[in-house]
Chain A
Amino acid sequence: MTSSPLIRALDRSAVTFILVLVAIGVIVPLLNLALPPSSPWHVPTYLVALWGKYVCYALLALSIDLIWGYCGILSLGHGAFFALGGYAMGMYLMRQIGTRGVYADPIRPDFMVFLNWPELPVYWYGFQHFAYAALMVLLVPGLLAFVFGWFAFRSRVTGVYLSIITQALTYALMLGFFRNNFGFGGNNGLTDFKDILGFNVQAQPTRAALFAISVAALILGFLICRTIVASKLGMVLISIRDAESRTRFLGYRVENYKLFVFTLSACMAGVAGALYVPQVGIINPSEFAPGNSIEAVIWVAVGGRGTLIGAVLGAAVVNYGKTTFTSGLLAPYWLFVLGSLFVLVTLLLPRGIVGTVRHYRGAWRERRNAAHGRGAQAAPKPAE
């Protein structure tokens, strides 16, 4: 217990998980780039992009698990932070199009020319620089979360009320972004991207690199979350989740703790959105749809909240299911599947996949220790 927070964060399952992610991040792009399409081991580029999308979703799920699984803040509007990060990246990509657009305007994106806007709005300034856009990817969702959280947590809005306000937040943003005069391309959103940092977004190597970068971002996000939950700060978060007023009476400033993780989580969601946009090639207001945020919460519930690894796994499993289902005969029934999945997991598997595995493994270990007479310290019976 006296080791540094980072060392404490890296227990065996965390290290294994990171190694698996590293392997995926290296092998998938290699199988795509190094092998000829004729090889049975070749991973086609469309799959790299699809899996890259899952990785971004996994990062979003991780950000939700940090606040929901560990601090009890159920945000049903995390898609908003994801989409804002995505828009920041989209704005950079739009500015890179330059004269290659339909209207060949060097400064204004096509939709502005189409709407007869004489010049670039001020809030689009600076987005031609990648560094500035990257900063905005963190800053815009982070700032919104900070302001939102500052008011919500200080007024002690919790539980279902907080969830409802987060829904309203993302819904309001969706309505705003749908409007043409909002300046973000209205319902078409931002699309038709050409380059990112001078590389063609459509090109095979760019796609492979984006995949690897997304995996790297996921690993970094996982490390940050693990460090937090394994520290004393993580212990306080769990205390807030389980007995908020008790934590307050112990002298902890609950609202500051919530604000910290909520803002951090929004920044992570923003990064996920920013990596998502170049891989799918479009960002539009439907990303703000309340349903998206709820779906992301389902990923976490399925994988197991409060486990981090479960969030990543849940995002991958549910989205794989979605891809499979929505492309066949069963396509019209996907929402029924998703809905029943949520109901069934809540009823039958309340700990989620990873939570259930850990629970039974823990119980098994305890039994084994008891059988070997080593349980004296781990599980003595109550005195009375």
Chain B
Amino acid sequence: MDARTTSALLYLDAVSVSFDGFKALNDLSLTVEAGEMRAIIGPNGAGKTTMMDVITGKTRPDKGDVYFDGSHDLTSLDETQIAELGIGRKFQKPTVFEMHTVEDNLRLALKDDRTARATLAWRETAAEQARIGEILGVIRLGPVRRRVAGSLSHGQKQWLEIGMLLAQDPKLLLVDEPVAGLTDVETHQTAELLREIARVKTVVVVEHDMTFVRELGVKVTCLHEGSVLAEGTIDQVSANERVVEVYLGR
């Protein structure tokens, strides 16, 4: 590995991505320190999901640098390698394995040897079982552990996916719209859950819901047209004139 170039856990510098001429990301620069929780807000089309795609290797940037942990150049790795480095992602639309039970979803996500040979000979250890029980407790899905994930409610699927992120034991969690379509109570519980996770992990949350972001109480970055518009506490950002303009239309 090369020497560390930055102290930040996640470092994006002048990243640009365009799709057929449309600039989804335009000179985006962003750093997230280890142990930090960061909320990313921005109107539709601001480039939030594209940014996630670039970090997780789904989309290659046209130019710019993306470094993880100071030494891993994410632009040269694919999804699997990036996941192995310790970046976990929750998708905008909850994506769980619908045919598997809740338990099996977590089992598949648990940090373990991911080669075909290892999975063929795999036997569950007591430690793994205990860890699954623990995560089920955190995401409050213990009572439905044997149900197939496809039969869960929308909110339960969101949590199961967060649980899968936890099982992966990543260094960095990217959480895309965790409260979309949730009730107020569930939104509140999710904020609590994420704050709990953020105590030991670095978390980047993309979200539209301002009440939720306020509840998280963390540093906020507002994206607009593919670059950073404002950064700071939620009060600073929401007082920013440009931000108000962008959100309310000019």
Contacts and interface: CB of A to CB of B under 8 A. Distances in A.
A208 to B, nearest CB: 36
Interface stretch (B11-19, B100-108, B198-206): B100-108
B83 A250 contact: yes
A384 B183 CA distance: 10
Contacts of B124: 1-2
Interface string B29-67: 000000000000000000000000000101000000000
Given A228-B120, A238-B97, A242-B99, A379 B147 contact: yes
B81 to A, nearest CB: 9
B157 to A, nearest CB: 10
Given A5-B121, A235-B107, 14 more contacts: A231-B120, A232-B119, A236-B108, A242-B97, A245-B79, A246-B97, A248-B80, A248-B83, A250-B108, A251-B114, A254-B80, A378-B146, A380-B144, A382-B153
Interface in B95-135: 95-100, 104, 107-109, 114-116, 119-125, 129
Interface residues of B, number: 42
Given A251-B84, A257-B116, A260-B116, A235 B146 contact: no
A231 B116 CA distance: 11
Nearest to A377: B146
B212 interface: no
Q: Which of B84, B97, B121, B152 has most A Cβ within 10 Å?
A: B97
Contacts of A384: 153, 155, 183, 186
A267 to B, nearest CB: 15
Interface residues of A, number: 36
B224 interface: no
A233 interface: yes
A250 B119 contact: no
A163 B99 CA distance: 24
A209 B121 CA distance: 34
Given A251-B84, A383-B153, A236 B95 contact: no
B122 A238 contact: no
B132 to A, nearest CB: 10
19 contacts: A4-B123, A231-B122, A232-B107, A235-B104, A235-B107, A238-B97, A242-B99, A246-B95, A247-B108, A249-B79, A250-B109, A250-B164, A252-B114, A253-B115, A257-B116, A377-B143, A380-B147, A382-B152, A384-B183
A242 B107 CA distance: 16
A251 B83 contact: yes
A239 B148 CA distance: 13
A229 to B, nearest CB: 11
Contact of A2 (B80, B89, B123, B155): B123
Interface string A340-384: 000000000000000000000000000000000000011110111
Contacts of B183: 384
A296 B155 CA distance: 42
Interface in A270-321: none
Interface string B168-195: 1000000000000001001000000000
Q: Which 5 residue pairs across A and B have the least CB separation, nearest first? A: A251-B83, A232-B122, A233-B119, A232-B119, A382-B153
Nearest to B174: A249
Contacts of B147: 378-380
A95 B147 CA distance: 58
Contacts of B116: 233, 236, 253, 256-257, 260
A200 B199 CA distance: 76
A20 interface: no
Contacts of B80: 248, 251-254
A5 B84 CA distance: 25
Nearest to B87: A249
Given A231-B119, A257-B116, A384-B153, A243 B58 contact: no
Contacts of B186: 384
B128 to A, nearest CB: 10
A248 B84 CA distance: 10
Contacts of B125: 2
Contact of B108 (A228, A235, A256): A235
A382 B83 contact: no
B156 interface: yes
B168 A250 contact: yes
B195 to A, nearest CB: 21
A256 B120 CA distance: 13
A227 B100 CA distance: 18
Contacts of B79: 245, 248-249
Contacts of B155: 384
A245 to B, nearest CB: 7
Contacts of A249: 56, 79, 83, 88-89
A384 B146 CA distance: 18
B54 to A, nearest CB: 14
A253 B153 contact: no
A256 B107 CA distance: 20
